Amino acid sequence: MSARERARRPRRVAIVVHATVPQDPRVRRQTDALLTDGYEVDIFALREPDQERVESSGGVTIHRLPINRTWYGIAGHLAEYLAFMAVATVAVTRQHRRRRYRLIQVATVPDFLVLAGLPVKLTGVPVLLDLHEDMPTFYRDRFPGRLVGPGMLLVNAITRASAAAADELITVHEPLRRLSLDRGVAPDRIAVVMNSADERIFSAAPRRPFMEDGELRLVHHSNLQRVYGLEYAIEAVALLPDLPVRLDVYGDGPYRRQVEGAIERTGTSARVHLQGRVPMEQLPGLLAGSDIGLVPTRPEPYAQYSLSTKLLEYVVMGVPIIASDLATFRYHFSAEALRYVPGADPGALAAAIRQDVADPAGMQARADEALRQYRPYLWESQRDRYLAVVNRLTRR
């Protein structure tokens, strides 16, 4: 093939992610950016029972592989990851013969999923590793007391080897980038592309006035997981019997049964409402109808390197936030922007809610300051960073 023919060939990127699509917001935003820049995108992802095996629309083809989440302890996690990696390796290699990708992008966790791109890398196609999370702290959180000693040494070794196998890396915020630098990744091989909220979606809905109908509306949305500490928000609601409080929870996940147990234990079923998953296009309006966004994440090592996307979505919507006092939150937002409380402390959370009710003007000032501090992290600028990395790699 001549250089001219190669230049005319469609620019295609393959994205491998151990998640469901289009539910994964980072992959969704990256895909939109690639399409806008003239790329075609093939995504290789998990498949839920009600999803199509292959789905194509507007330059995007989603290949849903015959693997789904099992979550049966450490052995189950490992078996699931290895099975997904094996199937993804075969699928990506096979599709490359027909589609001729310019770039393979692999999202973590697990970091060793980068191996799915290596057969294509051997043909000269670069591999970009997208670190959504830090694998060692992820596993230390999921399996406390098990991955110690030699086990943790192995996880750290895999993390370093996976980074070395990629041509370049991107990650979701500066603290994680610095962690990679400490592990030996060269500064010119890793860039930050934050997992920002898409302001085109989340800044459109008008906010309702504070407690317009006399009810204090609290909101939390997430994939229900233990680390998000939702039970502490439920216990805080139980500590506010004299306030007309309503907590709406949007999303679903493996921790739902424990959340339902917390509601039953605290007797808050009339005030805490599990709404389940809602379509993305409905979420901005629902957030706009709330008074305070709660981010009660547990103060654990894994969470210290987490910058919640839902927190950023509240900021863009102008929703005042009460959040656990975590290092990465503090790195991006000062105490003038967010009301911080000790994590895993329902009493402190309840007290903070009372303080906001007593001072709505101060609460709104915090929300305005959060939006001001967020401006450098707008998705528009993060999108340009992402495309700069992709274009540099695809021109090789």
Condensed to tens digits (0 to 9), the pLDDT of residues 199-210 reads 888 877 889 999
What b/e string do you get for 155-176 counting C-beta neighbours within 10 Å, with b at 16 or more? beebbeebbebbbbbbbbbebb
Cis peptide bond N-terminal to 119, omega within 30? no
Query: Mean pLDDT score of the chain, rounded to an integer?
Result: 92
**What is the number of alpha carbons within 13 Å of residue 83 lying toward its C-beta?**
13
Residue 196 backbone dihedrals phi, psi, to 5 degrees: -70, 155
pLDDT confidence of residue 241:
97
Question: How far, in Å, CA of 52 to CA of 365, rounded?
Answer: 46
Question: How far, in Å, CA of 52 to CA of 298, rounded?
Answer: 35
Q: What is the CATH number assigned to the segment(s) 199-376?
A: 3.40.50.2000
Burial of 315 (0-12, 13-18, 19+ CB in 10 A): buried
pLDDT confidence of residue 48:
87
Show me where the domains of the chain are located: 3-196+378-394, 199-376
pLDDT confidence of residue 349:
98
| Dihedral (CA of 206, 207, 209, 211) sign | positive
Q: Do domains 3-196+378-394 and 199-376 have the same CATH topology?
A: yes
pLDDT confidence of residue 194:
96
Among candidates 390, 316, 377, 307, which has minimal Cα distance to 33?
A: 390
pLDDT classification of 114: cutoffs 50, 70, 90? very high
Condensed to tens digits (0 to 9), the pLDDT of residues 334-346 reads 999 999 999 999 9
One DSSP character per residue, 80-141 reads HHHHHHHHHHHHHHHHHHHH--SEEEEEPSSGGGGGGGHHHHTTT--EEEEESS-HHHHHHH
Asked which of 134-148, 172-186, 244-258, 370-384 is least confident by mean pLDDT, the reply is 134-148
Helix (H, G, I), strand (E, B) or coil at 337: coil
Question: How far, in Å, CA of 291 to CA of 318, rounded?
Answer: 10
Among candidates 382, 199, 201, 216, which has minimal Cα distance to 279?
A: 201
Question: The domain 3-196+378-394 is classified under which CATH number: 3.90.1150.10, 1.10.3720.10, 3.40.50.300, 3.40.50.2000?
Answer: 3.40.50.2000
One DSSP character per residue, 22-75 reads TT-HHHHHHHHHHHHTT-EEEEEE---TTS-SEEEETTEEEEE-S------HHH
One DSSP character per residue, 133-159 reads S-HHHHHHHHSTTTS-THHHHHHHHHH
Mean local confidence (pLDDT), 266-271: 98
Among candidates 173, 196, 176, 172, which has minimal Cα distance to 371?
A: 196
Question: How far, in Å, CA of 307 to CA of 139, rounded?
Answer: 17
Question: How far, in Å, CA of 264 to CA of 313, rounded?
Answer: 29
- Return the higher-pLDDT residue of 170 and 139: 170
Among candidates 34, 14, 99, which has minimal Cα distance to 383?
A: 34
Condensed to tens digits (0 to 9), the pLDDT of residues 171-195 reads 999 999 999 999 999 999 999 999 9
pLDDT confidence of residue 228:
94
Q: By the 8 A CB rule, do 65 and 44 touch?
A: yes
Mean local confidence (pLDDT), 123-147: 85
